[in-house]
Structure 1
Amino acid sequence: MYDRILVPTDGSPSIATVADHARELSDVHGAELHALYVVDTGSFATLPVETTWEGVSGLMREEGEQAVDEFTEMVSDAPVETAIREGNPSREIVDYADEHDCDAIAMGTHGRGGIDRLLLGSVAERVIRTAPMPVVTVPVSEPEGQRAES
């Protein structure tokens, strides 16, 4: 049923829960996993003018390399394609899945509702609304005292 499963990662510790779930799906279906890190270029709009895009982009790409490498280690010997993209996270996730004929997307969600979701937005929700393939959301928890967008 699934030949390719996309797993977007932000490098946070909560990705371990998603990695476990994606690995199980991969094992059951004999699917190849794709790990994707998206450098959110929209988040740099508020940086001071003297900040160079190349410097920030380079740092974010390094963070992305580390995130996809950690995901690859978490799923041990499962086949994994990795990629890093720049842009709007939800759009890049859906575009990547479509371009690589992924049969499903497995991603974490913090399960926020109400005012938190309105104020913070939800990458998972936007992916669910726009992806032409199934999106498996895996509930994840945040370390105490941390809040990050899902």
Structure 2
Amino acid sequence: MYEHILFPTDGSDGAAAALAHARNLAETHDATLHIMTVIDTSSPHIGMTTAGPEGATTGMVAEEHDESEPGMVGEEHNVESSLQERAQAIVEAAADEVDTVDTITTVERGPPHSAILDYANENDIDLIVMGTHGRTGIERYLLGSVAEKVVRTSNVPVLTARLGDDTT
């Protein structure tokens, strides 16, 4: 029934709660488990700034910028590689936990819900298994929910697992 299962993860405890479900389904159906994380390009990077009118700057930057300078300004150039390294570590850690099934790992970029749906469509995904943080009320309203957006707009079934769900 399922040949390709997508497990999007942000490395959180909520995502980890869904990993056991994804592994069990992949084992049961002899499916390939696609493990992905998304570098959210829809959010501005902290510390990334641009010059304003007449050379003025916004945010916390030095007047003269040298790539070798330590601290916040000098590390701006390493933000992308740091995000990529952290994202790669997240998918590799998840893949290590499910070594009983075939896995494909990937790091995508973009708004998370869009990247998940695009990947699912482009890779013939049969099922998406993802965790939720279990937020309610104003916190959910203010922070939004990637899982909720995926559930509402996906063309394939989506299984969600909340942190604390029994995964045995």
Q: Identify the TM-score tier after normalising by the shorter chain.
A: 0.7 to 0.9
CA contact (8 A) 1:15 1:71 kept: no
Cα distance in 2 for partners of 1:32, 1:124 equals 21
CA contact (8 A) 1:90 1:123 kept: yes
Number of the residue aligned with 2:2: 2
Deviates more, 1:86-95 or 1:74-83: 74-83
Alignment of 1:7-22 (within 5 A): 7-22=7-22
Number of the residue aligned with 1:39: 39
Work out which structure has the larger RCO, using CA pairs closer than 8 Å and 6 or more positions apart in sequence.
Answer: 2
Q: If the length of structure 2 is used for normalisation, what is the TM-score? A: 0.77
Number of the residue aligned with 1:102: 125
Cα distance in 2 for partners of 1:2, 1:93 equals 18
Q: Residue 109 of structure 2: which of 71, 82, 86 is its match?
A: 86
Number of the residue aligned with 1:131: 154
Higher-Rg member (1/2): 2
Q: After TM superposition, where is structure 1 displaced by more than 6 Å over at least 4 residues in a row?
A: none
Cα distance in 1 for partners of 2:156, 2:11 equals 24
Which amino acid in the other structure matches residue 15 of structure 2?
Answer: I
Shift of 1:46: 5.2
Cα distance in 2 for partners of 1:130, 1:90 equals 9
CA RMSD of aligned residues (A): 1.7
Q: If the length of structure 1 is used for normalisation, what is the TM-score? A: 0.86
CA contact (8 A) 1:16 1:74 kept: no
CA contact (8 A) 2:36 2:108 kept: yes
In the alignment, structure 1 segments of 5+ residues that lack a partner are 142-150
Secondary structure, aligned partner of 1:138: strand
Alpha carbons of 1:98 and 1:130: their partners in 2 closer, same or farther (altered >3 Å)?
same
Cα distance in 1 for partners of 2:76, 2:39 equals 12
Alpha carbons of 1:54 and 1:95: their partners in 2 closer, same or farther (altered >3 Å)?
farther
Shift of 1:111: 2.1
Which amino acid in the other structure matches residue 132 of structure 1?
Answer: N
Which amino acid in the other structure matches residue 48 of structure 1?
Answer: M
Secondary structure, aligned partner of 1:7: strand
Cα distance in 2 for partners of 1:94, 1:60 equals 21
